[in-house]
Structure 1
Amino acid sequence: MKFESSLEKYVLIVATLTAFFTVFLSSGVGVVIPSIAVDFGMSNIVQNWITTIFFLAVAVFTIPAGQISGKYGLKKSMVCGSALFIISSIFATLSVSSEMFLITRIFQGIGVAFLNVASMAIVVSAFKPENRGQAIGLNVTGVYLATSLSPVIAGFLNHQFTWHSIFYFTIPFLVFCLIVLIVKIDKEWKTFENVPIDKKGSVVYSIGILLFVYGFTTLNEMSGVILTIVGIIFLIAFAYLELKIKNPVFEVRFFKNPKFSSSNFAALSGYLATFAIVMIVNYHLQYIRGFSSQTSGLLLMITPVFQVVLAPLAGRLSDKVNPQKLSAIGIAIGAVAIGIIATLNEHTPLYVLAIALALQGIGFGIFSSPNNNAIMSSVPPKDTPIASASVATMRVIGQTLSLGMLTLVFAFVMGNVPIIPEYYPLLTLSCQIAAAICTVLCVISVFASLVGINSKPVKL
């Protein structure tokens, strides 16, 4: 890719490296969950919260991060988000209890919320529209490259040392990214500099999404049903409130545009469908197959390797071909892959799983960059931080609900028990049910991707 200025080069380098290492650590933790659970004596339900609580924190803070980043500057947001992520990661290595470790995961999530919003928005702001899809594709490649390498590296580090080593490995690189950001990028982007922060909207949204997602993960209990309903009420109130004020924390009116709304819904359904699959396959490999975290990591990298190859190509192609059509094709391939994974049991040949993981990588590699491009190109340039927040929110809510759905299925089928050989048949059944649900969600995402193909950008 040719850069028109050194600023473009450094922006893309910082955004991609930051995306790589935050995703690397986030994904790496997922691979070593069994080891962390043993160290802290966690049950199957509690150990799922190692990942869920992180993404819940990201979901709660992403929408407010969009307006805050636009007002105080995208570069400042990346600096603060990086610093918070680094500090909380250090404390994670010092954790002496499950409670302390889970608290550090919350602060890591807050840091990532600002990084997710600012990194995408800063790339879009620094690049011209004709090169935007390619730049987004390369940025997304950093995410997929981290996803592909993290199972291998994290599995190796955990197998040879301890789960703490994945943090020791990551922190120096994050510090390096922070230094490059401060020293090499001398421009700031403030699109909402004179706009007051919508504190009321931020609070209502945060309460609503927190209650909804947490309630969703405990729907097997009456308290979970109540919290879910109350969360939905708060989110409805949030939408109503945002329509009534001049400078909302999130411009709900954008959803009047079919391209924006359908692409966001496709992203939500797609991430909801695919994210739990990593956990499902990881559990299948380590518990049912008895593979080490190192071996499991090698197999899990099949999917993201294909994503790494295809994401930049799909991003470049989305500058020339309707991105929603590409998204629909990609997620349709993903539906086939997850349908195969829904049949996994102890007798499934390993090559069948490998084929499914490859198809999933091909499908999601084609889906993500064009879907992001469709969302970002459907709003005016000044609103890129809000659109970026929307992209990040759909991804994180989808990922969080995906893990919540998996936890919910585990709770209904297995109950709150340790994952030991006695319960392996129930573990297999739980994973099959969850994967079947994910297949249906992929099909829904296909149809959502095709809505509003010929719609115009939002005009408020």
Structure 2
Amino acid sequence: MNPHDSALAARDGLPPDARRLAMLSVAIGVGMASLDTAIANTALPAIADQLHTTPAASVWIVNVYQLAMVATLLPFAALGEVISYRRVCLFGLTVFTIASLACALAWSLPSLVVARLFQGVGAAAMMGVNTAMLRAIFPAALQGRGFGLNALVVAVGFAVGPTAASLILAAASWPWLFAINVPLGVIAVLLGRRALPHTARASHKVDAPTALLNVFAFGLLILTFGDAAHQEGWHKLAPELIATAVFFALLLRRQAGHAAPMLPVDLFKRPLFALSALTAVCTFGAQGLAFVSLPFYFEHTLGRSPIETGFLMTPWAVLVAVMAPIAGRLSDRYPPGALGGIGTAILSSGLVAMLLLPPSPTVIDIGWRMAWCGIGFGFFQAPNLKAIMGSAPPSRAGGASGIVATARLIGQATGAALVAYCFTLSPVRGTSYALILAAAFAAVGCVASFSRLVVRQSP
């Protein structure tokens, strides 16, 4: 390590100038990964039409990205502990950027699906070590602020995806949805090479068979969620559920006794970590239920256009952007359990308010309710991130970081699958059922968050 690298490998965060450059690199990467999780959904009809494929087949454009992300998140997080988070983050940025270019140049559905697979792998590498990287970038006294900025980027990227896609498609063709990532990715790689800190490396090695079992276990889990969302029969779902259970059992058996298991079950023995992860799954599940179901209500019931629908969703994103940095700063002074509990309570009440919309709501009627939900969601995220990372020992920051991203994606995937079930129960009242579940998810997250006030941190 040269003197410049040594200066960046600060024990308690980076100097202010290097910190800003490193945070910008991380934010660009995480923003692109979060945006591309949501942006392709809106573009599917246009992509299917131009590539002359069926809507059912085009769903793989979304599914393969999510599969690749969730299946490889924890292996990349474990790899970051061994070879350094910096290397894994830069690898992810590079692969994601190259894959984005390949997506923009795709000439057929198979070529686009393969490019999206590699894009998902790159996103997983970035997201898997993202939170651990922030822990190295920011000094302990400012980590809440750093997590707040990260929460802002993730939530806004996910929330504005449909609006951004609609605006781009109104002015250009679908390849531009992916092409815009290329210059941003190049900037992020250059900034990252200059400013991302080197971190201490663990002495243990990554076990390749464990990584492979992890890929199959989580890949099958998300595949099962996707098939359930598309109303596949039990003749297909039952074998998938059995195979998922078998691979998880093999994974747990393989890593039993390992000092740093890839699926960090040892960290879940810490009550604060387990409750924080539960809070994350519930809250992102609530968000997934709302974000997937509300566009159907806005477009099919209220007759709004896709672009109008995107803007009706915007108040949620705007208030997340406002509240996330504030909550991050507060989490440096107040217990995350209390802040997260307040945020999830606000979110739950906002979702109940959406249920009570008048039959012919105005933009104001919708706007203030979406804004109230955004306030709650933005208030929850940064304190919860800090609680998860703070409840894991520094040597296990990679595993904790992987759980942060995995909890988010599992919550969103669960929410999307439950929306499909709600519309199966009643095409007319499907959105109402989904919002009831969303409010219940947020309420469970609220109880889990406040429960952290009465548990002790593990050593």
Distance of 1:48 and 1:282 partners within structure 2: 18
Which of 189, 193, 201 pairs up with 1:191? 201
Aligned: 1:216 with 2:229:
no
Name the CA shift for 1:353/1:5 in 2 (closer, same or farther; >3 Å): closer
Distance of 1:34 and 1:434 partners within structure 2: 24
Q: Which residue does 2:132 correspond to in 1? A: 121
Distance of 2:302 and 2:432 partners within structure 1: 15
CA contact (8 A) 1:198 1:248 kept: no
Q: What does 1:339-354 align with in structure 2 at a 5 Å threshold?
A: 339-342=352-355, 347-354=360-367
Q: What does 1:147-166 align with in structure 2 at a 5 Å threshold?
A: 147=158, 149-166=160-177
Name the CA shift for 1:11/1:457 in 2 (closer, same or farther; >3 Å): farther
Q: CA deviation at 1:156?
A: 1.6
What amino acid is the match of 1:59? V
CA contact (8 A) 1:332 1:442 kept: yes
Which residues of structure 1 form unaligned runs of 5+? 414-425
Which residues of structure 2 form unaligned runs of 5+? 1-12
CA contact (8 A) 1:243 1:252 kept: no
Distance of 1:344 and 1:101 partners within structure 2: 40
SS of residue paired to 1:304: helix
Q: CA deviation at 1:80?
A: 1.2
Aligned: 1:69 with 2:103:
no
Q: Which residue does 1:440 correspond to in 2? A: 440
Q: Which residue does 1:244 correspond to in 2? A: 257
Q: CA deviation at 1:8?
A: 2.1
Q: What does 1:39-438 align with in structure 2 at a 5 Å threshold?
A: 39-40=50-51, 49-147=60-158, 149-182=160-193, 184-185=194-195, 187-192=197-202, 194-219=203-228, 220-342=233-355, 347-410=360-423, 412-413=424-425, 427-438=427-438
Question: Sequence identity, in percent?
Answer: 22
Q: CA deviation at 1:343?
A: 6.2
Normalising to structure 2: TM-score of the pair? 0.88
CA contact (8 A) 1:213 1:228 kept: no
Distance of 2:196 and 2:444 partners within structure 1: 44
What amino acid is the match of 1:126? I
What amino acid is the match of 1:217? G
What amino acid is the match of 1:181? G
Distance of 2:324 and 2:224 partners within structure 1: 34
Distance of 1:407 and 1:163 partners within structure 2: 26
Q: CA deviation at 1:437?
A: 2.3
SS of residue paired to 1:226: helix
Deviations 1:160-186 (A, max 9, x none): 22222222223211111111112x226
Name the CA shift for 1:10/1:276 in 2 (closer, same or farther; >3 Å): same
What amino acid is the match of 2:450? L
Name the CA shift for 1:21/1:122 in 2 (closer, same or farther; >3 Å): same
Deviations 1:390-422 (A, max 9, x none): 111111121222223334445x35xxxxxxxxx
| Larger CA deviation: 258-267 vs 346-355 | 346-355
Normalising to structure 1: TM-score of the pair? 0.87
Name the CA shift for 1:52/1:457 in 2 (closer, same or farther; >3 Å): farther
Deviations 1:306-350 (A, max 9, x none): 000100110111111110111111112212222344567974444
What amino acid is the match of 1:143? V
SS of residue paired to 2:429: helix
What amino acid is the match of 1:191? R
Distance of 2:100 and 2:187 partners within structure 1: 15
Q: Which residue does 1:16 correspond to in 2? A: 27
Distance of 2:117 and 2:356 partners within structure 1: 34
CA contact (8 A) 1:337 1:356 kept: yes
Distance of 2:395 and 2:259 partners within structure 1: 15
What amino acid is the match of 1:177? A
Distance of 1:343 and 1:102 partners within structure 2: 41
Distance of 1:388 and 1:407 partners within structure 2: 30
SS of residue paired to 1:453: helix
Distance of 1:232 and 1:338 partners within structure 2: 33
Q: CA deviation at 1:140?
A: 1.9
Q: CA deviation at 1:245?
A: 2.5
CA contact (8 A) 1:379 1:457 kept: no
Q: CA deviation at 1:97?
A: 3.7
Distance of 1:373 and 1:224 partners within structure 2: 37
Q: Which residue does 1:420 correspond to in 2? A: none
Distance of 1:46 and 1:291 partners within structure 2: 27
Distance of 1:432 and 1:103 partners within structure 2: 37
Q: CA deviation at 1:261?
A: 0.3
Q: Which residue does 2:7 correspond to in 1? A: none
Name the CA shift for 1:439/1:233 in 2 (closer, same or farther; >3 Å): farther
SS of residue paired to 1:32: helix
